[in-house]
Structure 1
């Protein structure tokens, strides 16, 4: 006879809830209710349960020593125009329109607020945090008289301050009419040839050619002063020699310089030529073809003689300093430059007037100095 295992008791369909389990469930519901009640009562505080449930919580900002926190968003009154605020820019104040529709007293000006203007640029406005009053910065004032664009003269190392032609040289060098040499020298006593004189005339007067150029036989095709010579010929300052020659390397004399300036400026010959030329002790040395031109140059203040105003020395080669003085006087006559007071400028009148009218700022040179200068 086979032994059978004892039959298992059948499980009950309903199990009764024990006392301990009932207490645990009750405590759990009470805890959840207390947490919900506490979170709802602390809703206005900065710490709430919404931050725990949010999928992308905003990290709290830690203030660093050199970090500047952004400005708080200013509150704009309802009557402010919202179209003046840029949507993507930091919080900024709204600018009132320049119309009397909104009075100034009805607005609250926020300190540290940036102002956006849709009109033309206005002076910068600063706001006082204590009084709330606006104070406009002074606008930039443009001077009515513009500063001179003429650069200072070149400080040539061989033109001392007491040199007789220093002021004439300074005026022309500052305007680029006369230039020095690479060693910062001017060489005031160096003669000037006809090609160099044509180049100086071109820079000084800047006239447009009025006649056709002459093809001189002694000027190469690529000569450095070809354009200056053509301009000097076409404007009437210079003339050529027979057989279509110009002689560009020939030194130009003082009388030729004065004749060229009178011809180029179209100065008329005065009627009393002999009286005017009597101011020169060496008037007999003036060539016959140039007497009327020299009289016109003297009457118009173009003649500058050093050291003695009564000595013209017409056939002497003109130096760079003498040429600077005569070119300066020609530009004064044309109204391009202001006159300079100098005892070496020959004035129209008698010999006594020519040598005796001296500006008080420039006393006459003693005779012993004149002799020593003439012997150099």
Structure 2
């Protein structure tokens, strides 16, 4: 008997899967696929369930996955639909009285259903004011009322402090009043030059600013006043208003310095001042009354009676033929405006006030007054006498 090595075990033969095993594997894969399908379908159904439970959805309408609802507005392309924004539909029922209604979820042309509507607040925000009419209505309805003055008040600026007009200058107050109203102006170097003479063209310009003169309809064509002369309009108005007159041969002499008597005659003529009955008696207040020209006697008397004459330094010296300075013209123009009631009077010792007082009868003396007064021991007059202490 021969010893042999143990034989190798024979490999097991592979048997084909049985029918039962194939069914078990198929069931397992089917179960796994069903679970996956169920989980995916549950996610979609939850979206649909939220859409059905939305407050803006109607109980009678149901959304199918493949159903496309007609949109009340124009169709919107898929790429044009913004996120979480639904079109406005006026045909849907209103849930809240102040809340605008929105339609239910409308499907896109590809069949995808949009998410549920956002919750609309019960109170809609107020739209911004975009028109001028709404702005005006908002201003009118504001808490603070708008007060509009019935008439605009004129504001008079303070007088200019000219560097050559001292505080104690005799004509300072007249200059301040006229300069603050723009009747008289200074020079670019903040000076007034009160002692500088005034020519006829400058005086016409001052009259134009001081008095309300009507436009001249028939202007005189003076040979020495060019049409484009700076003072031509002022000269025409002064002539038409009666303040100034020309010279013979149609000349005005605009560059000629104006005298004090010419200033007073011009103001008395322009204001239509009535001449007093006895002008010579009025003019007796002046020590140099003999120097007044004959043509100006009544006008100077009328100007004196109405308080237009201002003399410095001596009120009793008129100096009629002296060239008028800017300060003297300012003082006389101021007094003319006071006469018209446009300015308040300024107390000044240089204003000449002379009126024609009425004749007073001499008082009758009683016999008792004519008695010889008796003197008391202490020096006082008694019965019928008068004493001054």
TM-score normalised to structure 1 length: 0.62
- SS of the aligned residue for 1:156 comes to coil
Q: Is 1:207 the equivalent of 2:207?
A: no
Q: Is 1:78 the equivalent of 2:97?
A: yes
Distance 1:336-1:323 versus aligned 2 partners, 3 A rule: same
Q: Is 1:291 the equivalent of 2:310?
A: no
Tell me if the contact between 2:307 and 2:353 (Cα under 8 Å) persists in the aligned partners: yes
Tell me if the contact between 1:302 and 1:345 (Cα under 8 Å) persists in the aligned partners: yes
1:172-211 map, 5 Å: 172-209=178-215
Counterpart of 2:27? 22
Counterpart of 2:282? 276
Q: Is 1:266 the equivalent of 2:272?
A: yes
- Please say which structure displays the higher CA radius of gyration: 2
Q: Which whole-Å deviations, capped at 9, do the CAs of 1:112-154 have from their partners, x for residues lacking one?
A: 75686969614487xxxxxxxxxx5322333456342444433
Cα deviation, residue 296, structure 1: 0.9
Q: Is 1:121 the equivalent of 2:137?
A: yes
2:236 to 222, 230, 244: 230
Tell me if the contact between 2:98 and 2:124 (Cα under 8 Å) persists in the aligned partners: no
Distance 1:38-1:194 versus aligned 2 partners, 3 A rule: closer
Cα deviation, residue 58, structure 1: 5.8
Tell me if the contact between 1:280 and 1:312 (Cα under 8 Å) persists in the aligned partners: yes
Counterpart of 1:33? 38
1:350-361 map, 5 Å: none
Cα deviation, residue 196, structure 1: 1.6
Tell me if the contact between 2:198 and 2:325 (Cα under 8 Å) persists in the aligned partners: yes
Tell me if the contact between 2:285 and 2:316 (Cα under 8 Å) persists in the aligned partners: yes
For structure 1, which segment, 145-154 or 161-170, has the greater mean C-alpha deviation from structure 2 after superposition? 145-154
Counterpart of 2:3? none
Number of equivalenced pairs: 281
Distance 2:124 2:327 in 1: 69
Q: Is 1:240 the equivalent of 2:246?
A: yes
Distance 1:312 1:286 in 2: 9
Q: Which whole-Å deviations, capped at 9, do the CAs of 1:273-313 have from their partners, x for residues lacking one?
A: 34432333333332222121111112222112223333222
Distance 1:120-1:305 versus aligned 2 partners, 3 A rule: same
Distance 1:144-1:160 versus aligned 2 partners, 3 A rule: farther
1:60-209 map, 5 Å: 78=97, 113=126, 121-123=137-139, 137-144=143-150, 146-209=152-215
Tell me if the contact between 2:99 and 2:124 (Cα under 8 Å) persists in the aligned partners: no
Q: Which whole-Å deviations, capped at 9, do the CAs of 1:82-109 have from their partners, x for residues lacking one?
A: 9xxxxxxxxxx9xxxxxxxxxxxxxx9x
Distance 1:115-1:177 versus aligned 2 partners, 3 A rule: same
TM-score normalised to structure 2 length: 0.60
Which residues of structure 1 form unaligned runs of 5+? 1-15, 46-53, 61-74, 83-92, 94-107, 126-135, 352-376
- SS of the aligned residue for 2:152 comes to coil
Which residues of structure 2 form unaligned runs of 5+? 1-20, 52-76, 85-93, 102-120, 358-389
Tell me if the contact between 2:216 and 2:236 (Cα under 8 Å) persists in the aligned partners: no
